[in-house]
């Protein structure tokens, strides 16, 4: 089992540090400084970096960390992210700390986006980057609503106890929007109160779980009648496909 620590970066990013048998891995290090500070504090050496997509707030620390620690850097294989020396493709499996990671192509936020799944019976883990957030999903900067819907559908098929480690603290604002979509969702109302309390104490709201997201996240609930009706009311249109619902509520969220 990994020990997992959040490293805060910029205004709302999380760089996840995974430790097992003193082997250290970090996920999406947009900034090298807080990573190096925590490694020094714990007297550890970085061995691996995992990258989900090309945005600078997820990749900006690669070069410095590589210079200091000479890491294995896993990430999208297209060759456009400087520093990746272990290129990874969809469905590819690789070992870190005697643990099997599986890459899942999850385009939508970006076209190159990979998420990573660790299938442990007692506690499966998902490193979802900017595809799935607690209560939300990433903006469609490069992909389409259909791509995002298909990506989130892959997550929906994972075990419900899968812990979700995304890379931004957006939960409170995401759930405010979710309540606008589904004001009568009792799970959502309860979750929102929990999150408001955590944030008032400056505590992380993560990880979430797949089971929880299926109950509260409108982007994971595009087949639910209440979500479909809310999307149709917002767009003043009729939708026959769930990805159309997702596109509508993503537009709504972008302007919320």
Its pTM stands at 0.97
179 and 251, same structural domain?
Answer: yes
Catalytic residue among 31, 57, 113, 243: 57
Catalytic residue among 28, 54, 112, 168: 168
* Secondary structure (3-state) at 129: strand
pLDDT in tens, the chain (256 residues): 899 999 999 999 999 999 999 999 999 999 999 999 999 999 999 999 999 999 999 999 999 999 999 999 999 999 999 999 999 999 999 999 999 999 999 999 999 999 999 998 789 999 999 999 999 999 999 999 999 999 999 999 999 999 999 999 999 999 999 999 999 999 999 999 999 999 999 999 999 999 999 999 999 999 999 999 999 999 999 999 999 999 999 999 999 9
229 and 147, same structural domain?
Answer: yes
End-of-domain residue from the set 42, 59, 88? 88
CA 254 – CA 256 distance, rounded (Å): 6
Q: Which one, of 113, 6, 105, lies nearest residue 52 by Cα?
A: 113
99 in any annotated domain: no
54 catalytic, yes or no?
no
234 and 130, same structural domain?
Answer: yes
246 and 138, same structural domain?
Answer: yes
55 catalytic, yes or no?
yes
Q: Which one, of 36, 96, 24, lies nearest residue 61 by Cα?
A: 36
190 and 141, same structural domain?
Answer: yes
Domain that holds residue 76: 1-88
End-of-domain residue from the set 58, 88, 118? 88
203 and 79, same structural domain?
Answer: no
237 and 200, same structural domain?
Answer: yes
Number of separate domains in the chain: 2
Locate tokens 């799944």: which residue?
117
Q: What are phi and psi of 40, to 5 degrees?
A: -65, -40
Catalytic residue among 28, 54, 109, 112: 109
- The CATH number for 14's domain is 3.60.15.10
94 in any annotated domain: no
Catalytic residue among 55, 112, 113, 243: 55
205 and 113, same structural domain?
Answer: yes
119 catalytic, yes or no?
no
23 and 77, same structural domain?
Answer: yes
End-of-domain residue from the set 88, 119, 139? 88
């Amino acid at each position: 089992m990994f020990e997992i620590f959040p490293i805060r970066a910029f205004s709302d990013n999380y760089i996840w540090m995974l430790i097992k048998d003193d082997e250290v891995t970090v996920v999406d290090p947009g900034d090298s400084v807080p990573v190096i500070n925590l490694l020094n504090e714990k007297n550890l050496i970085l061995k691996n970096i995992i990258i989900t997509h090309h945005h600078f707030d997820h990749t900006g620390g690669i070069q410095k960390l590589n210079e200091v620690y000479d890491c294995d850097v896993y990430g999208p294989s297209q060759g456009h992210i400087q520093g990746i020396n272990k290129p990874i493709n969809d469905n590819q499996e690789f070992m870190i700390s005697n643990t099997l990671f599986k890459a899942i192509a999850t385009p939508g936020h970006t076209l190159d986006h990979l998420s990573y799944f660790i299938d442990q019976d007692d506690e499966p883990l998902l490193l979802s980057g900017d595809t799935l957030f607690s209560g939300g999903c990433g903006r469609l900067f490069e992909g389409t609503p259909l791509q995002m819907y298909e990506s989130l559908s892959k997550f929906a098929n994972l075990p419900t106890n899968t812990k979700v480690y995304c890379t931004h603290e957006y939960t409170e604002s995401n759930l405010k929007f979710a309540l606008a979509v589904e004001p009568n969702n009792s799970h959502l109302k309860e979750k929102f109160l929990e999150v408001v309390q955590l944030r008032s104490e400056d505590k992380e709201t993560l990880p979430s779980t797949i089971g929880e997201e299926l109950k509260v996240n409108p982007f994971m609930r595009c087949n639910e009648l209440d979500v479909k009706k809310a999307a149709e009311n917002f767009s003043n249109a009729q939708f026959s496909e769930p990805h159309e619902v997702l596109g509508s509520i993503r537009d709504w969220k972008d302007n919320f």
